[in-house]
Amino acid sequence: MLAPLWFFGFDSLMEFIGFAIASAVAYQALKGYRLSKERTLLYLNLSFGLLGAGLLIDGLANLVVLLARFHRAFLFLSAFGYTINFLAQLLAYGLLVFAYMQQAKNVGGQVAMAAAVPALFFEHNAITELILIFLLVYIATNTAINYNMNKSTSALLVFGAFASLSVAHLFFLLFTIAPVFFAFAHIAQLFGFLLLLAMLLRVNHAA
Amino acid sequence: MIPSEQGQAAKPVSKYRSQFRIYVDIMHVIQRENNEAKPTRILYGANLSHDRLVKYLEELKALGVIQENGIDEKTYSLTQKGIEFLNNFRKVESFASAFGFKI
């Protein structure tokens, strides 16, 4: 399934913005880890570092395909970028799920995180998106519970971000049926990262 | 940077508090007392035994985040470094709390 041609370029731009925001979140988590030595902040740092790296590689790969005017020799880069991005997200969200499980002392559930990773490149497909949706829904549920408990705006923004990222991957799943969902997915993904940026600004401004 | 405590067994009833958390609690008490707290106020405010309080106050002084004032009646206040540390800690706590993580 090919992405709509009119949207090529915008998807890379949105992924570069996502990369910048994910890097900012990773940096904030690293600062927190250095200060407190709290391991969950290290997981958060690694998770958003991976998310950022995946977005950057996918964005660059798609940009090269665009600049090469969809030359056949470069088309594999799109699948390569997607594969790297998928693996990075799988690890990143897996780490976050692990962090939430550690917080809840649910050791048994951690075994479920040892997900098998296919070695070949893959295009957008239902299975990879379903795996990411499964992980994201778990994370979004935890952030919703957190918001319900402390009722802070920052917690609401984080919940909104992960809910938005879940919706983005639902759209990526639907993209396997209709190309227009590719654009919706990128917009939802960008919106999710913008909510994280709002949370970062709020946290640093309020203190 | 303030290191975290290693190797202490968790108590069955009270929630385990890391050394880092105890440092922060002591500093919060000092700040709450208008940056001039008597040892007894810190002892009750941070919920510590006398021996542990003395130990932690010495460690915090060595780290340069609090200072001892007075001769007959000792009081403790935060240094500039201590105030900056608490401000940074609040940002980190608020950031971690947004994700539902406790530090």
Checking if the pLDDT of A24 tops 70, the result is: yes
Over residues A165-188, the pLDDT tens digits come to 999 999 998 988 888 899 999 999
Q: For chain A, what is the mean pLDDT?
A: 87
B-chain CB neighbours of A195 within 8 Å are none
Among the listed residues B48, B47, B50, B78, the one whose alpha carbon sits nearest the alpha carbon of residue B65:
B78
Report residue A123's pLDDT band, with 50, 70 and 90 as the boundaries.
low
> How many C-beta neighbours within 10 Å does residue A205 have?
8
**A90, A127, B7, B59 from A117: Cα distances, Å:** 9, 12, 36, 47
**Higher per-residue confidence, A109 vs A94:** A94
CB-nearest partner of A143 from B88, B91, B100: B100
Please check the confidence at residue A145 and state whether its pLDDT lies above 50: yes
Q: What is the pLDDT of residue B20?
A: 86
H, E, C per residue of chain A: CCCCHHHCCHHHHHHHHHHHHHHHHHHHHHHHHHHHCCHHHHHHHHHHHHHHHHHHHHHHHHHHHHHCCCCHHHCHHHHHHHHHHHHHHHHHHHHHHHHHHHHCCCHHHHHHHCCCCCCCCCCCCHHHHHHHHHHHHHHHHHHHHHHHHHCCHHHHHHHHHHHHHHHHHHHHHHHCCCCCHHHHHHHHHHHHHHHHHHHHHHHHHHC
Nearest CB among A34, A146, A207 relative to B94 is that of: A207
The pTM of this model reads: 0.82
Q: How far A120 CA lies from chain B's nearest CA (Å)? A: 33
ipTM: 0.83
Res. A72 pLDDT band, cuts 50 70 90: confident
Which tens digit of pLDDT belongs to each residue from B66-101? 999 988 889 999 999 999 999 999 899 999 999 999
Give the domains, in start order, of chain B with CATH numbers: 19-95 (1.10.10.10)
- Give chain B positions within 8 Å (CB) of A40: 96, 101, 103
Report the C-alpha gap between A136 and A204 in whole angstroms.
Answer: 26
Cβ contact A44–B99 (<8 Å): yes
A103/B91 Cβ within 8 A: no
Write down the residue that tokens 């893959």 correspond to. A122
A119 has pLDDT over 70 = no
pLDDT at A56 over 60: yes
Maximum CA pair distance of chain A?
A: 53
Instruction: Mutation target for A interface from B97, B99, B102: give the one with most A CBs within 10 A.
Output: B99
In this complex, which of B20, B91, B97 lies closest to A155 when CB atoms are compared? B97
